[in-house]
Structure 1
Amino acid sequence: MAALSEKAAAVFGRWCRPCDQAPPKLHIYNSLTRSKVPFYPIDPSGQRVTMYVCGPTVYDAAHLGHARTYLQFDVIRRILRDVLGYDVVYVMNVTDVDDKIIVRSQERGITPEALAREWERKFLEDMTALGVERPSAMPRVTEYVPEIVSFVETCVSNGFAYEDRGSVYFDTKAFESKGHDYGKLCPENVGNEGLMAEGEGKLASTTFTKRDDRDFALWKASKPGEPTWPSPWGAGRPGWHIECSAMIEHTIGHGGPIDIHGGGVDLKFPHHDNELAQQEAFCNCRQTVNYFAHTGHLHIRGLKMSKSLKNFITIRQALEGVDGLEGVRPSTMRIMFCLVQYNAPCDYSDNMLANARAMEKKFREFFLNVAAALRVVDSDVNAKFKVRPEDASLLKARDDCAKEVRARFLDDFDTPNAVKALQKLVDSTGSYLSTLEATNSQPSSLALCAAARYVAETWLKLGVQGLCSDEVLDALRVYPSQTSAKKSSGAASAPLLDALSNFRDGVRGAGRTQDTAGVLRLCDELRDLVLPELGVRLEDKGAGSVWKLDDPEVLRAERARKVEEAQAKADAKRLAAEKAAAKEAAARVDPRDMFKNGPYKAFDADGVPTQNDKGEPLPKSQFKKLKKQWEAQKKAFEKASAK
């Protein structure tokens, strides 16, 4: 972070810690202090948490930057609610009137409302595809214009805004003169003309002279062809920053502060700093947001995402695949972002995707291995429930993991290290199964389920779906639901019976002709091609086999990757063989003939050129170089001839 100027340093860090009713259990990195601070909810009972996240401006397709922000705030919301037990009221707005929307609608020849509704629908479809939960409230700007007008009126009457030619501007000097600090989040950026101009929008008035360069529009007088609403200052529309302030006040603010305000780091200045100023001007108070949380920048292979760099990836392109790239499963994307701290920079790269896919596979395999192990455990009637040292060790590993995961979540929602703790438990469980298998002992279904159930529940609380099939979840309940099992069995029975019937026919045919190789081929086809389409993974294990139920889509993707890897290996082998053959052919050329077809006219007794094609003697340096090549060829030729 760049050093702050003396003036900026005086503004930064003026944060009032909320009144604490009890020792804090959660610490959050607060952008207002740029440090971790104890979290105290405003609610006197300490149970209710109000949270507002800046939503999309719906004028174009949502991209991976949006995916990161809304996925990671979805994870934070789930941790607060499902892990820490808070009652979370989560509000996300939709900006459906803005300069960008107006400009894009004019380019397409449709109304701003039609454009906004189109992209809002697609945005919500993208969020559903990613598994992002709907907010508690989702106010649209166009539905809150009367409340926005009232909010601006209060700012004017409080002496913090002024009107000119139908527009209303925030009065920064008046704000500071009454003891308020402008630019609390990014005081070092106050005065940055580029950022301030971007915040005002492309359609900002150029004929008006502000009282201070830092002043910004609360209400914009509409130009011909723009959306308009009535106001005391004439027909116009809201400014960008005022929208969030008014909707926060109407939904969860109610004249006081809110607990958490979130958004992407690119919104810090001027948007969030202007929001804070407006809310303080409206409430005549010093603090309207107790904790500000920002997701970090997202880069694509180390570069800023930009259409000009041709690395702009929409959420749909990422999920469905684009330009020959394999699509990313929603669960994989969520895991990928869980591997990065929410407020740290994130580089979306091939390596990061590979790590996320490997992580997902590790946990999927873990659950499948647990389910396979549980199938061979004695029934409850015959099982022995005495806790052996191995069982006690696994139960302790489970308890240690639970303590560490909770500690990580309490430390600013530290999902990367929470996942590491889950990995450690997975490894401990694998060691447990291997140890018992080596002594031909059965695992404890209770200890095994306790460990696996905790891992499954934690991922589900983070919103990761699909790591466990319904059959695995049933198995982890120790006493599976017979209804669920029957339903699953019935749904899969017809295609499975068809596969077994066809396999039997093939084996019988091969048996009649004593085609042993044919039988083995049919067994491999059943394992590699037929059963995966039915969601069954059949693995060779010693002299026998073990089956696991998995998602057919996952099995197809694995098969495709194996085919690609085999093809790449075959191509590399072929190229190596061609290279070796070419080298062998080159080695069999007699050194006396190697320069005959070159641009030379005369040669010595060994066939080394002495004159160029014009009959001119070759320079000594060139002759020496050619002689060296001749000697190397002579050695290769003699070696090849001796074979």
Structure 2
Amino acid sequence: MTSITVHNSLKPGPPVPFVPKQEGKISWYACGPTVYDLSHLGHARNYVSTDVIRRILTHHFGFEVNFVMNYTDVDDKIIIKARRKRLFELEKQRPYTPEQSRDLVSKAFVAYAEKSLPLLVPEGETTPLDEHSYQARKDAAYGRVLAGGTLSGEGKPSDAEAKIKMHLANMDSAANALKSSDSGVALLDGAEEVLLPYIDAKETIDTSDQTIFTDLTKAMEKAFNDDMQALNVLPPTAVTRVTEYVPQIVAFVEQIIQKGFAYESDGSVYFDIGAFEKAGNQYARLRPESKNDKALQEEGEGALSKVEGGKKRPGDFALWKKSKPGEPYWPSPWSQGRPGWHIECSVMASDRLGQTMDIHSGGIDLAFPHHDNELAQSEAYWCECGKGEHTWVNYFLHMGHLSISGSKMSKSLKNFQTIQDALATTYTARSMRIVFLMGRWNDGVEISPDMRKQADSWENTLDNFFTNIKARISEAESAVPAVGNLSLTENKGLGAELEQAKKDLNSALCNSFDTPTAMQVLVRLVRDANIYMNTPGSNIKEVEAVARWVTKIVGIFGLDPNAEPPYEGLGWGSPNVSGAADVDPQTGVKPFSAVYAAVKKEVEDLDLSEASVKTLLEQQDPETEFAEMEKSGEKDVEKLALPFIRATSRLRDGLRSIVSSATLEPQQKQAILLLSDRIRDYDLTDLGVQLDDQVDKPSLVKFVPAAKLIAAREEKAALAAEKARKKEEERKERERKEEEKWAKAKVPPQDLFKGDAKYQEWDAEGIPTKLADGSELPKSQGKKLKKEQDKHKKLHEEWLKKVASSN
């Protein structure tokens, strides 16, 4: 087995040797999403990077990976969102008068500011905060933040500033709603974000019907699965849900209490960190520096878990929470309550993978307190007295943040772009995955134009390589003569470079799945192959071997959603034909056969006498060639379409070869040129076929996404139109200057400066002698004016000659 090293959060520093507990097999638990909202690019970063590592372990290193992932379907965020959604629906059904709805929103407006933006309501301020005073107070209190700075005026903006901007955006919407003439439901909708916490604080709701929560979680779980499928993320081996594990969670907590590592207080159960450490265990193994971070501890407990008393120490965390009114609940020996956030993963992972697993993974933000608390309670559950600390996880992998403007991308900060929106507007699944592959999985990724440009360049390099090699192979295999530069003579140069690339890539992947280096290895090899492919005497089989190996690696990396192990194809899936394998051959080739038939008819109508063209019209039989391929079971639409594409291309090449013939009439030559360009630029382009003209050789047939070819055609047309527009403007400008020149030339030299308000007197030749204020004209200025008059005199004489000749 290849020696693999991996960055392990349990052992900070350089990568450590990766040795699974069972040879050839890996047990892996990944923290899945909390399903309360649509997933964003930060989630994509986590789950795509996880998927890449899983694919490498499975398809490159040959491990059998048991990959378990959970869905958190009961959580403070879910409770708050689902409950507020139901309360808001009920609120909109109330028969409020316009005055009552406005009063409700105004109170919520102030309450939101007091809680989330306290600088808007400073102590001692006597003027009430309302939609009219809001703008001035916002600028005064948070102007630095809105201008891109920090609240303190020092350092760089972070999550705190992003949260302030999010709260201000909510206040902006509410202020605009209050300023408008809206009332009733329209007013409530406009102020929804400030209303939700206000009505949630003053209203309660019966939660015995848990569909309030499950309707939300089921919808969001489906949306997440759809997003992962769109991103070509492999489905887990097994999926777990918190709500399906409540009895097991209760039993797990009971065992921890019995071992003396947890205690009950007022219906809730807390993990006893002091007892855990006293028994010789270490708490906060992943992030010891965060052990006493109160803010992170509170975040780990959840927004609904404010505990006034009952804990032995502030850092103790909840294993079981007594439910308050408006929260879901299940029976337990301690209360009608619900699981703590951390206990769920401990129970589900232990149930599926046992008392020790190879890998546990998640986003870096989960390291403390979530994963540290998981470790502590699981080790407390599994440990045996007198045998020392239990090892529950051997390797902890934490995926780096995706950040934007210095802040992590987060639902709570509302600074995110959903995966659905990103795929609809900004990325393809492939381009997004390439962006993540170009950064180390455990490093942060900052979204930037340079990062996108680099990823696009990498994708285009490989895309063009696959397109060109397929075209060259097709050319070599066709019956078309004169493919001399595709010699099949032995040449080991590229083969040696391929072997070195294989070694370099394997070394990179062994080094903690170093995909940035692996991506450089691939693009370097492709560039070498491109140079070699265009060298006279090159061996196409050598280039094909490179292309097939590169195909295998991009398949392993998940860059081709249509590819399946062992990834032995050639190139990644063409966006040209969707679901090609399922298309009926006759249906799939119909557009290509129609183009050939139309072109053939037009060539016949030209009634040309050249024998070469007549021979092509008589002897080409793409229908029979297609029929033979169909009988053989071929399903690839691109291959099935080749007989018609090649026949069309040959007719075009035949026309181009005779266009300079002396026997052709000028109108025939013009018709041939127009038809030739149309076939290349429209007929075949619209089908995703690019023809590259070659000197003394048949045109090279390439399959390129039609959208890409059409975009290039439109860009070329736009550039030509812009060039023509500028040329026309320049022509008009020259004409205007010419008209001005001759209009001025009409003026007799002695009158050139007369009438100019700058001067008061002129001599007999028309040269100014005094300025407008009566002062004498300086001699130096007089000399300049005389030179100007002499020059004008010549132009005037030209004008006189021009007038005389026209008469």
Distance in 1, matches of 2:247 and 2:686, equals 57
Does structure 1 retain, via aligned residues, the 8 Å contact 2:36–2:220? yes
Q: Alignment partner for residue 401 of structure 1, among 486, 492, 501?
A: 501
- 1:546 equivalent to 2:700? Answer yes
Contact 1:99/1:201 (CA < 8 Å) preserved in 2?
yes
1:365 aligns with 2:464: yes
Does the 8 Å contact 1:59/1:119 carry over to 2? yes
Distance 2:284 2:317 in 1: 13
1:352 corresponds, among 448, 451, 454, to: 451
Q: Return the match for 1:420 from 492, 513, 520.
A: 520
Change (3 A) 1:280 1:570: farther
Q: Identify the residue that residue 70 of structure 2 maps to in structure 1.
A: 93
| CA distance in 2 between partners of 1:528 and 1:137 (Å) | 50
8 Å CA contact 1:363, 1:467 repeated in 2: no
- How is 1:517-596 mapped onto 2 (pairs within 5 angstroms)? 517-543=670-696, 544-550=698-704, 554-560=705-711, 563-564=714-715, 567=718
- Aligned residue type for 1:30: N
Whether contact under 8 Å (1:41, 1:47) holds in the other structure is: no
Unmatched 5+ stretches in structure 1: 1-21, 322-326, 477-483, 592-601, 608-616, 619-626
- Percent identity, aligned pairs only, is 38
Aligned partners of 2:84 and 2:455: how far apart in 1? Answer: 39
The verdict on how the C-alpha distance between 1:272 and 1:473 changes in structure 2, with shifts beyond 3 A counting, is closer
User: Which has the higher mean CA deviation after the structures are superposed, 311-320 or 580-589?
Assistant: 580-589
**Counterpart code for 1:429:** A
Q: Pairwise mapping of residues 93-112 of structure 1 onto structure 2 (< 5 A)?
A: 93-109=70-86, 111-112=212-213
Amino acid at match of 2:543: L
- Structure 2 SS opposite 1:90: strand
Letter in 1 for 2:370: H
Q: How far did 1:122 drift?
A: 0.7
Query: Which residue matches 2:238?
Result: 137
| Residues in 2 aligned to 1:343 and 1:294: alpha-carbon distance in whole angstroms | 6
Alpha-carbon shift at residue 395 of structure 1 (Å):
1.2
Query: 1:73 maps to which residue?
Result: 50
1:202 Cα shift?
1.4
Q: Which amino acid aligns with 2:398?
A: H
So what's the TM-score if we normalise by structure 1? 0.78
Does the CA contact (< 8 Å) of 1:90 and 1:137 recur in 2? yes
2:348 maps to which of 203, 224, 247: 247
Q: Give the letter aligned to residue 243 of structure 2.
A: T
CA 241–579 in structure 1, closer or farther in 2 if over 3 Å, else same: farther
User: For the structure 1 residues 60 and 214, does the alpha-carbon distance in structure 2 shift closer, same or farther, using more than 3 Å as the test?
Assistant: same
Q: How big is the alpha-carbon RMSD for the aligned residues of Structure 1 and Structure 2?
A: 4.1
Note the C-alpha offset of 1:406: 0.7
1:174 counterpart = 2:275: yes
Question: 1:249/1:501 Cα in 2 relative to 1: closer, same or farther (>3 Å)?
Answer: same
Query: Which of 275, 278, 285 matches 2:377?
Result: 278
What is the match of residue 34 of structure 1?
A: 12
2:394 pairs with one of 287, 290, 294 = 290
Matched with 1:154 is: 255
Q: 2:759 aligns to what?
A: 605
Taking the aligned partners of 2:555 and 2:530, their CA distance within structure 1 comes to 21
Provide the C-alpha distance between the structure 2 equivalents of 1:195 and 1:569, rounded to a whole number of angstroms.
59
- Aligned position for 1:503: 599
Q: Which residue of 1 aligns with 2:617?
A: none
- CA gap of 1:570–1:281, structure 2 versus 1, over 3 A, is farther
Cα deviations across residues 436-476 of structure 1 (Å, max 9, x unaligned)?
xx3xx46253x33322211111111111116999xx97679
CA deviation vs aligned residue, 1:333-358 (integer Å, no higher than 9, x gap):
21221111111111223332332232
Say which is worse superposed, 219-228 or 73-82, in terms of deviation.
219-228
- CA shift, 1:213, in A, is 1.2
Equivalent AA in structure 1 for residue 301 of structure 2: E
Aligned to 1:337: 436
SS at structure 1 position matched to 2:304: coil
Alpha-carbon distance between aligned partners in 2 of 1:209 and 1:579, rounded to the nearest angstrom: 84
Which residue is 1:464 aligned to? 559
Tell me which residue corresponds to 1:597. none
Shift of 1:65: 0.6
SS in 2 for 1:111: helix
Aligned residue in 2 for 1:433: 533
The aligned counterpart of 1:318 is 422
Unaligned runs of 5+ in 2: 87-210, 384-388, 572-579, 609-664, 745-755, 762-771, 774-780, 799-807
CA distance in 2 between counterparts of 1:455 and 1:92 reads 30
* C-alpha separation in 2, matches of 1:586 and 1:76: 68
Name the structure 2 match of 1:264: 363
SS in 2 for 1:139: strand
Give the CA deviation at 1:569.
Answer: 8.0
Is the contact made by 1:510 and 1:516 (CA closer than 8 Å) also made in structure 2? no
Give deviations 1:295-354, integer Å, cap 9, x for gaps. Answer: 111123665435798752111111111xxxxx4221222122111111111122333233
Per-residue deviation, 1:291: 1.1
**1:231 is aligned with what amino acid?**
S
